[in-house]
Structure 1
Amino acid sequence: MDLPPFLLDQWTARFASASPPIACNLASSTGPGWTLRELAALGDSPLDLTDTPLGYSSAEGSRALRAAIAALHGADPDWVVVTTGGSEALSLLFCVLEQPGASIALPDPGYPAYAAMAMAWRLDAQPYRLAREAGYVQSADAVLSAVGERTAAVVVNTPHNPTGSVMKRDELSRLATELSGRGIPLIVDEVFHPIYFGSAQPSAADIDNVVVVGDMSKALSLPGLRLGWIIDRDAERRARLIGARSYFAISHSPLLERLAAHALANAPAILGRAQAVADANLAALEAMVARSEGRMAWVRPAGGTTAFPWFTDGRDSRRLCDAAARQGVLVVPGDCFGRPDHVRIGFASQVGGLDHALEIVGSLV
């Protein structure tokens, strides 16, 4: 099967070995990075991995890791299935949900891999629109408008990539209840939870008929661990997920599982740093948009690590993105998300040098 080009990945890969190198990466959707030394030093005593057996883990993940993931979401460890990043989590879910003629309701705009992965599992992508003119608000009614007799599942991403919008708790609960009556599970992608600006909200893992997807890459800022998870209270579907994973991946690395469990044991330090950087950098980004004097507009993110401003004159953003990259600043052209007049800016990974980078971007607006 020929999948559509992954424009987002192609764009970032194009500059991975740029010469001179990119000085400020605002294409990243993660929080501030960590080294192995810094991560191992967190907590009361440094982590020592030298006694880790380099064998297989269980397909669902070690009990210690599943308990740590469950604690982050207020869930039962038995509901957790460990995966190789959020991507495998979605692939596993789409695999067990696949049936002839079925479709998946997906946000538009949204993370491009959703639709490609649905296609890979022969599921039709049925988009529901997040309207710019409505502030990209995520509502149960907008999602339900895309649900039909062939819908096998619904995906909600909150906080949302690329816009930073958040679906309120009461809307999530109402949507999950409405879908439950139709026998349709609600998949809530929470990879940017719990980074919020203003009112925070708990994980959706405790809501009936919700399957949560999470990972270590975004809010937890550790993409190199390649570790994600599914939280699903449906025991029958969970058994199918574990069975599928036994074929796909056998297990995760026990070395990386121990690192992830250690990171989650110290989640307040990791998430606190990410939140502080995101708060400060979001304020700087807001000031840049204000300085554009109306040439650029945006919906201020309510959560997550990405923003999705746009040119008010409707111009294509790729020229700006190319020009910024030549000056050492990487941002993502909106056509990677089907919105050429937008630009996605990741504002939580850069600890220093942001002001200068935003001056460069602002000068090109």
Structure 2
Amino acid sequence: MNLPPFLLDHWLAAHEFATPPIRYNLAASTGPKWSVDELLALGGGRDIGGVKIGYAPPEGGKRVREALGGFLGVDPDWVVVTTGASEALLIVLCLVARPGANIVLPTPAFSPFAAMADAWGLGVNSYPLQREEGFRQSAEAILVATDDDTALVLVNTPHNPTGAVMPPGEIEALAQKLGERGVPLVVDEVYHPLYFGRQSPTAASVPNAIVMGDMSKALSLAGLRTGWLIIADPELRKRAIDARSYFTISSSPVLEELAAHALDNHEVLLDRLVAVASANRAALSAVMERVSDTVAWAEPEGGTVAFPWFKDGRDSRPFCQALAAAGVLVAPGDCFGSPEHFRVGFAAQAEGFGDALAIFERTLRG
């Protein structure tokens, strides 16, 4: 197995963990950070000193699965806890891998989707998201990309890196059509429930849909490395739990307890994220209007990232390098197979976002 270079992580690691670190991180796709003390103080406080440092059940402990069931409005028995959404992706690919099979993915997309599919010997059929259409995902366009060898279809909503949201009716129609062919639909919901304007329900209760999620994005707790799969089918869920047992055995019970406590107080986490993301998105929108002679964008409908592009088609990496040298980090579009684009995160920087945008505009005009 020869995995391709993970360009996005290479770019982030070179700047986020540098000494000194980047001044303004607009490449991050997460929300404002929480400390352990801040998290434990929520809801009147929580003491985790008595948690035993052993193994948790492979499907996740009862407390965190019940908290996730309440958060998503599903039976806790449907929940399989994973080590972030990364392990959730590995599990679903493992379950469908077979010789000659393919999976259907959006383009642009988070690069590990295709890389991990290839690692499992799966072909990739892509359905393009057209920026002129706001990167819209539709059931009709996705079904065109399927064939008799399709083993799984994945949609990501809110979408990384574009912020596009797939309408619930389109998800339901797609899941139904795929179900008639015995093909599961995986819905990557790591940014749920962060929406601007109309809210969208989770797809966790949609027949023939498997939902992936984690604590990293909408709940702003990337370091907990706690993700999940929601699988209603008991036989498929049993296979997923077996796969998890082989991959990582279990989560840390300490992290599960922190995750459960966070979920018990998810309104506070989400309120802070919504406040930061909404204010910064509005500020970014104003800048995008001022630089519209050079850069275009589709305003994100959900999530924490946007995917602007240079109207003249130039490679964005030199601009991203110049911007990083000025103290502001965004992610070059070649990390997503779209060199003329760049990804901007607008939720991690709770303070100084306006200063970062001023540097962005000066660098662009320079």
Deviation string 1:28-65 (CA, Å, 9 cap, x unpaired) is 00011100000000002x11111001111000001110
2:293 corresponds in structure 1 to 294
Supply the distance in 2 between the matched residues of 1:225 and 1:198 (Cα, whole angstroms).
Answer: 29
Distance 2:181 2:250 in 1: 34
Asked whether the equivalents of residues 165 and 301 of structure 1 are also in contact (C-alpha less than 8 Å), the reply is yes
With the length of structure 2 as denominator, give the TM-score of the two structures.
Answer: 0.98
Shift of residue 16, structure 1, vs aligned partner: 2.8
Residue 91, structure 1, aligned to residue 57, structure 2: no
Cα distance in 2, alignment partners of residues 109 and 85 from structure 1: 21
Secondary structure of 2:213's match?
strand
Instruction: Supply the AA of the counterpart residue of 1:143.
Output: I
Amino acid at match of 1:299: A
How far the C-alpha of 1:362 sits from its partner, in A, is 1.3
Equivalents in 2 of 1:244, 1:227: separation in Å?
16
Amino acid at match of 2:171: L
Sequence identity percentage: 55
Corresponding residue for residue 27 of structure 2: 27
1:280-359 alignment, distance < 5 Å: 280-359=279-358
Structure 1 contact 24–354 (Cα < 8 Å) conserved: yes
Structure 1 CA distance for aligned equivalents of residues 180 and 311 of structure 2: 42
- For 1:142 and 1:352, the matched residues in 2 are separated by 40
**Residues 159 and 303 of structure 2 are in contact (CA less than 8 Å); yes or no, is this contact kept in structure 1?**
yes
Give yes or no for contact 1:59–1:246 (8 Å, CA) kept in 2.
yes
Question: How far apart are 1:128 and its partner, in Å?
Answer: 0.7
Residue pairs, 1:5-84, within 5 angstroms: 5-44=5-44, 46-84=45-83
Give the superposition deviation at 1:294: 1.6
Displacement, 1:296? Answer: 0.7
Instruction: Specify the SS of the correspondent of 2:17.
Output: coil
What is the DSSP-based 3-state SS (H/G/I as helix, E as strand, rest coil) of the residue aligned with 1:316? coil
The residue identity in structure 2 corresponding to 1:246 is: S
**SS state of the match for residue 101, structure 1?**
coil
Cα deviation for residue 226 of structure 1 reads 0.5
Query: Are the equivalent residues in 1 in contact too, given 2:163–2:304 (CA < 8 A)?
Result: yes
CA drift at 1:220? 0.5
Partner secondary structure for residue 31 of structure 1: coil
Q: Which one-letter code corresponds to 2:67 in the other structure?
A: A
CA–CA distance in structure 2, aligned partners of residues 127 and 97 of structure 1: 17
Give the Cα separation in 2 of the matches to 1:233 and 1:60: 14
Distance 2:176 2:30 in 1: 32
The two structures, once aligned, show a CA RMSD in angstroms of 0.8
Task: Please say if residues 184 and 208 of structure 2, whose CA atoms lie closer than 8 Å, have aligned partners that are also in contact.
Answer: yes
Provide the C-alpha distance between the structure 1 equivalents of 2:25 and 2:12, rounded to a whole number of angstroms: 9
Is 1:272 paired with 2:251? no
The 8 Å contact of residues 103 and 124 in structure 2, kept in 1 or not, is answered as: yes
State whether residues 162 and 307 of structure 1, in contact with CA within 8 Å, keep that contact through their aligned partners in structure 2: yes
Contact 1:21 1:328 (C-alpha < 8 Å) held by counterparts: no
SS at match of 2:170: helix
**Separation in 1 of the partners of 2:274 and 2:115?**
31
CA distance in 1, matches of 2:266, 2:292: 40
2:109 is aligned to 110
TM-score, scaled relative to structure 1: 0.98
**2:260 is equivalent to residue 261 of structure 1:** yes
Task: Give the aligned residue type for 2:182.
Answer: G
| Deviation per residue, 1:205-230 (Å, 9 max, x gap) | 11100000000000000000011000
Q: Is the 8 A contact 2:101 2:151 kept in 1?
A: yes
Partner SS state of residue 56, structure 2: coil
Map residues 156-175 of structure 1 onto 2, 5 A cutoff. 156-175=155-174
Task: Summarize deviations over 1:132-160 as a string: whole Å, max 9, x none.
Answer: 12221111011111111000000000000
Contact 1:219 1:274 in 2 (8 A): yes
- Where 2:16 maps in the other structure, the secondary structure is coil
Q: What do residues 176-210 of structure 1 show as CA deviations (whole Å, max 9, x unaligned)?
A: 00000010000000000000011011100111000
Aligned to 2:235: 236
Q: Tell whether the 8 Å contact from 2:16 to 2:25 is kept in structure 1 after alignment.
A: no
Q: How many corresponding residue pairs?
A: 364
Please give the per-residue CA displacement for 1:259-286, whole angstroms capped at 9, x wherever unaligned: 0000000000001111111100000100
User: What code does the residue aligned with 2:32 have?
Assistant: P
Deviates more, 1:185-194 or 1:244-253: 244-253
Aligned partners of 1:18 and 1:190: how far apart in 2?
Answer: 31
Q: Which runs of 5+ in 1 are unaligned?
A: none
